[in-house]
Structure 1
Amino acid sequence: MMDEARYNSLVAAAFKRILTAADAFDPDVLEAEATGDKVTLTAASGEKCIINTQRAVWQVWVAGQGQGIHFSYDDASRTWKDDKGKGLELFAFVAGVVKHLTGEALTYPS
């Protein structure tokens, strides 16, 4: 069951994982900035990937490559899945956006 404390914990872990992966990039290729409920990944071109909380519905929203996708936490798979049933997963989607922006792979820590 999702509650505010659990949502906050899951989001904090997701943001930390994304930031740790982004920190491996040369800052001239990709910069990561966290401010409260938002992580912004900015490529050298100025293009961005924005990961933001959607607290009212306990989701994470990602904007990148001209689209905005909402992800809900799925207890069964223990992953963040898109809310439209397209089979998208949060970390894979962010990695795809970063690959599009930089030409380089975003590798998450184990």
Structure 2
Amino acid sequence: MDEARYNQLTSAAFKRILAAADDLDPDTLEADSTGDMVTLTAASREKCIINTQRAVRQIWVAGRGQGIHFDYDAATGTWKDDKGRGLELMSFVAGVVRDISGVDLVYPG
């Protein structure tokens, strides 16, 4: 995948995550974006960090005490973990948010 396509796909993923976070009470979950990184911080101060990995065209997520790398799967139009464990980016982030804040992250249609 070329850099322009990667940038387009990561931007879309980040916007979707931020849109879902913006629908939540900021006292429950705060979202910050700094270009290549989105940080979701729960009231407990626990975090979920979503970051680009440009050199390898991946998205990396830190949460649940682990770091997971996601590759874009053009066949399904989703980001899937690079170890083949069946993890999908949006579901994984929603699960981390639920774990750290107790609320559901619901993505816009």
Same fold (TM over 0.5): yes
Q: Deviations over 1:35-86 (max 9, x none)?
A: 0200000000000000000000000000001010000000111100000000
How far did 1:33 drift?
A: 0.2
Counterpart check, 1:62 vs 2:83: no
| Structure-2 residue corresponding to 1:86 | 85
| Structure-1 residue corresponding to 2:18 | 19
| Structure-2 residue corresponding to 1:101 | 100
| Structure-2 residue corresponding to 1:48 | 47
Runs of 4+ in 1 over 4 A off after TM superposition: none
Q: Structure 2 CA distance, aligned partners of 1:78 and 1:23? A: 23
Q: Structure 2 CA distance, aligned partners of 1:96 and 1:3? A: 30
| Structure-2 residue corresponding to 1:76 | 75
User: How many percent of aligned residue pairs carry the same amino acid?
Assistant: 73
TM norm structure 2: 0.99
Q: Deviations over 1:5-27 (max 9, x none)?
A: 00000000000000000001111
Amino acid at match of 1:92: S
Amino acid at match of 1:47: E
Structure 1 segments unaligned to the other structure (5+ residues): none
Structure 2 segments unaligned to the other structure (5+ residues): none
May I ask how many residue pairs the two structures share in their alignment?
A: 109
TM norm structure 1: 0.98
Q: Structure 1 CA distance, aligned partners of 2:35 and 2:91? A: 23
